[in-house]
Structure 1
Amino acid sequence: MQEIINGLAVGGIYGLLAVAFSIVYGVLGMVNFAFGEIFMFGAFGALVAGQTNIAIAGASVDAPALPTWLAITIGVLAGSAIGWLIERIAYRPLRSAPILSMLITAIAVSMLLRAVAVFVFGAAQVPVPRPELGDAVEFLGARVQRMDLIVFGVAVLVTAAFWSAIRFTPIGRAIRATAEDKDAARLMGIGVDRIISTTFVLGSAMAAIAGILYSQRYGFAAATMGFLPGLKALVAAVLGGIGSIPGAFLGGLVLGVSEELAASYVPQGSAYRDVIAFAVLVLILWLRPQGILGRREVQKV
């Protein structure tokens, strides 16, 4: 039970990031590798806004510490703004190019953002102050950290709100129409370019929230912190059925729980945690090639 609870917390983070991958893939049919770096910038955005002193580009910068809720909001807005800029500058000019060109561009943008973060914040881990939340809670013989409860609860609520917005709001219907057929959406008066930009902003906000939760749970932020979670979130999106929002989140939970169980019960499991993540993916895709909640054809958003 202890490992399952720990896995649900980290799986919720993977799930949020997997939803970001899934929504953009559903609309554009491409994998935005830069979500790992947006994940990282969201964490740093909240950290910078909430601290009185932090090193930026090697210089110590003093600033008033903002309230936690405002610092988190700034982190999410920073991630969303970066996502909008990436789509507008890097991806939009290549929209009619072969998908491989967009894929290579996504990798290049990811590396560029990581290099910028190393220059601005340094290559070392930066400690993230964690709030005092009190003692752990006993549940079915396991000690549940209050931070894990917050992480999992926020992940579930944000994903549910995002899914409801996609299913039941006018902008959500426009996103689904664009994902189904861009030309038909244009004929119906939908501004496809605006909808694609909106999709990137929403996905980037999800990635930034995931990054903030990750930095709070593990107590650090680093320029390279988004690489492995981003890779695992992509695995989770495929695992759950890429293009499906509930499937992507479920894939994150399955991946997180599998990692924690393997790390505890497989000999030297902790050393091979990342290998186990891909082994789970291969095993499930052997049994169900379209993913847990995927369809035979790629499911749209």
Structure 2
Amino acid sequence: MTNYETLIDAETWAFIEKTNSYYPPDTIDYTIAEQRAIYDRMCREFFAGYPQGVTVETTAIPAPAQDIPIRLYRNAKPQTAAMVLYVHGGGFILGGLDSHDDVCAELCARTGFEVVSVDYRLAPEHLHPAAFDDVMAAFEWAAAAYDRPVLLCGDSAGGNLCAAVAHATRGHAKKPIGQLLIYPGLGGDRSRGSYVTHAEAPMLTVRDLEFYKHIRTGGEDRTGDITLAPLADADFAYLPPTVLITAECDPLSSDGEAYRDRVVAAGGHAYWFEEPGLVHGYLRARHTVGRARASFTRIVEAATALGKGDWIW
């Protein structure tokens, strides 16, 4: 049994307790509509505002199924090396342009890069591969519309979608300059590693993961589908430089390690860092928890390096 009382510090416990006060651990037992209302309220409670100098525009881009809402973040003194395509987390059923609004704004302010956030379609109304199709369409739009490279960045479910797009675009003339995956779920082996050690972690459990997978697929067996689980791919060659940042107290942490190992074994560049004592969803703790603050700085530095084409690890 993992002793979280020793792994997790007081600041992080305060964050967990605050999160649970808005988004209780049994929220997955509610209806999807209720879950979304609870999640949206929690996001509003943690909203940190926009940094000075960041301007925001909400619009949409055309796509085969339906237009995809996006939100663009621009800095007063923009860097032109790359733009960031940000894909939000939320278990493929929660979140949107507002849920990670301040995270995107701060990423824009601190890197200087323009950031585009994607409001992909959610399950269960839109089963897999709808979300993947939307993020793929958003990437193709960004690659065509901008005269600079595109950096993929996403957390949790968004990290999954970023990796799936990276795998799908390896042969494209315009492919991502890099990918930055924050506590992503990549479809790893659930019989070992963090899936066992941290099966009952605060903030995210293996039961939660099974629920999200079932909702995303409608219960259909999609074994081997790399657009659903990038770790199912047999070929990890020619992927863009990749940085994976995971939380120690999270069943998904081993996915970061496994993905790093496969990219490196295929001759690519990948770096994995596991944040000690942190939990899934800690991006919302970046202003109140020292460890999360330090991790967000690492994320900013990684985005800046990847966006400029500098491989420094």
TM value normalised by structure 1: 0.27
Q: Which has the higher strand share?
A: 2
**Structure with more of its chain in helix, by fraction:** 1
The structure showing larger relative contact order (alpha-carbon pairs under 8 Å, at least 6 residues apart) is 1
TM-score w.r.t. the length of structure 2 is 0.26
